Structure 1
Amino acid sequence: MILVTGATGTVGREVVRGLPEGLRVRAMSGNPAKAAGMLPGAQPVAGDFADPQSLARALEGVHAAFLVTTRADVDDDARFLSAAHKAGVRRVVKLSAAAVLDPRADDLITRWQRAGEDQLRACGMRWTLLRPRAFMSNSLSWAASVRSERTVRALYGTSPNACVDPRDIAEVAVRALTEEGHAGHAYTLTGPQALTAVDQTHELARLLGIPLRFEGLTPDETRAALNGRYPPPVVEALLASAERQRAGAKAHVEDTVRTLTGRPARTFSQWAQDHIGAFTPAPDQHPCPEAPWRPSASRPSCSSSASRGTPR
């Protein structure tokens, strides 16, 4: 039995879908009904990292697990690894982040990821670490403003990031869960080239066949947008991450996806083409008239739900 935590998340659901037929797969999430509808063929199970009994139920009979944790202010990694060890799990593949390798990265999120990696290496089970750059799917945060205003807004639009398709991360995870030879390895995963938000805007415009505008956000505007969604320490960590990206820390490209899968990493163009429907305006949708953008409630907008890009 293979357990996938975060099974309805961006990478987790692709891991479940990519596991070979014939394997028993258990999909752990906070909403097992959603998992059942999204992931037919997997056994849905409710799981809460703060509830040892739910973890014990989810881990019963499991020999390998894919671990995704998302809360930087609690020790979910330690809780899961303790329960997994007690349940007799033999192999754990953890989703981490490429930033752990950057000596300049000392923000809350990176420190939390480093601590989780340390706990995994010391857990007594066979382990594999996946360290991706930003997900290409983060661009979906622009979908509403592209549809309604034909505009992308982001911080530091000319800073490059070697972003990666979540499906490539999932394919590597599936191999690490099902093949021998991956124990004790840490894999840095990137796309085939470093792109800026401006580059991505141009590519979306080309695929949509419509002009798109890019509008840069200031750090203060970005902070104001993020403060409604994340605790202040997380907001500051995201802003620190954006500053490192601006300095070029996220531009390096690795060929790990090709090495492990035998094919090149997917390009942003491939990802965008497969998700272009999310960005496509309705046939009767007309863009807002050209107007200067201002970070205030009176900003001209076709939609009150217009998306603001966040640092990745």
Structure 2
Amino acid sequence: MKQWAGEGPKIVVTGATGAVGRHVARGLGSRGGARLLVRDADKAARMELPGEIVTGDYQDLARLEEVLAGADAVFVVTANPLRPKDDENILRAAWSQGVRRAVKLSWTAVTDPDANDLIARWNRDSEALLRDSGLDWTVLRMRSPMSNTLSWASSIRKESMVRSPGGDARTACVDPRDVADVAVRALTEPGHGGEAYALTGPQPLTPREQAEQLSEVLRRPLGFEELTPDQALARWRERLPEPLAQALLEAAGRRAADASAGTEGDLEALLGRPATTYRTWAADHVSSFA
């Protein structure tokens, strides 16, 4: 593994090929780059992410210690509630290697008292581990990312059709690039220790409204088919273990009751600009749907 170069903050980005992590890597690239911990080095190379690409697994504590050695800060992204030791291992390795700062990606649902599904409970537990880690911590609680609608890309390209549960459920979805901009600030600037930021988009939209905006951006009509809860569950079961599929079903039920419709001002206050709209995000990603 290379020695740290330059005099800027030495930062490890976990989840560096993910929806937010890739943009954190690019944001840090203009500041000298970071060490990017990924599972698939080829995928990271195809993305042309700036920084030192290293591979590892969150279950491998010795490897995590090697990756985090000499770092000043770590961006913590874990994605599997069925692997609850992942957060613990990252934080344990960071502490043992003298890392001072940790910025964790979490979800706004942790503050909803009615959110008791597996994913919400796991995020609450992960935040508690972070607060008790001894590190200078910051939590970024994001609403559903706009990039989730990339799951519609195949049916849009092939059939000009969007299929989604909860067609009228409003969500203040957020641009992952905005979340990444906040993460870069929290990783590199003072003043964010002990803070939990709620990061949402500027406007609650339903899947139908998102499909309408995509149609306008693509300049062609798109159909919309609302999936029943049973149909949505069957689709999630095709690619996810049963506990995660059930958790997504519960979350969809809360969205139908407008649990995800609220907007927050943290993002605008931190970045000094408005949050990105879904229409802007869609226009910037039109090639994925065309």
Structures share fold, TM-score greater than 0.5: yes
Whole-Å separation in 2 of the counterparts to 1:72 and 1:187: 22
Unaligned runs of 5+ in 1: 281-312
Structure 2 unaligned blocks of 5 or more: 1-9
* Equivalent of residue 260 in structure 2, options 236, 240, 250: 250
| Equivalent position of 2:20 in the other structure | 11
Aligned equivalent of 1:57: 66
Letter in 1 for 2:59: A
Identify, as 1 or 2, the structure richer in helix: 2
Following superposition, the deviation at residue 24 of structure 1 comes to 4.5
Q: Tell me the secondary structure at the aligned position of residue 19 of structure 1.
A: helix
Letter in 2 for 1:214: F
Q: Does 1:117 pair with 2:127? A: yes
Conservation of the 8 A alpha-carbon contact between 1:161 and 1:196: yes
Provide, for residues 23-53 of structure 1, a one-character-per-residue CA deviation record: whole Å limited to 9, x for no partner: 3510100122332442443011112111112
Out of 16, 29, 36, the position equivalent to 2:38 is 29
1:66 match: secondary structure: strand
- 3-state SS of the aligned residue for 2:134? coil
Q: Which residue of 1 aligns with 2:78?
A: 69
Aligned alpha-carbon RMSD (Å): 1.0
Query: Matches of residues 1-312 of structure 1 in structure 2 within 5 Å?
Result: 1-19=10-28, 21-74=30-83, 75-280=85-290
SS at match of 2:119: helix
* TM-score normalised by the chain length of structure 1: 0.88
What is the match of residue 3 of structure 2?
A: none
Shift of 1:211: 1.0
| Alignment-derived partner of residue 298 in structure 1 | none
Say whether the 8 Å CA contact 1:208–1:276 is kept in structure 2. Answer: yes
Seq. identity, % = 50
Distance, in Å, in 2 between the alignment partners of 1:212 and 1:22 is 41
Does the CA-based 8 Å contact 2:118-2:247 persist in structure 1?
yes
With structure 2 as the length reference, what TM-score do the two structures score? 0.94
Can you list the C-alpha shifts for 1:213-269, whole angstroms capped at 9, x where unaligned?
110000111111111111111111000000000001000011211100111000000
How far apart, CA to CA, are the structure 2 residues paired with 1:58 and 1:95? 19
Paired residue type of 2:65: A
Change (3 A) 1:22 1:203: closer
Q: Distance in 1 between matches of 2:59 and 2:265?
A: 37
Q: CA deviation at 1:128?
A: 0.2
* 17-26 or 168-177, which deviates more: 17-26
Structure of greater Rg: 1
Give the 4+ runs in structure 1 shifted more than 2 A: 20-24, 32-41
Contact 2:29 2:51 in 1 (8 A): no
Contact 1:17 1:39 in 2 (8 A): no
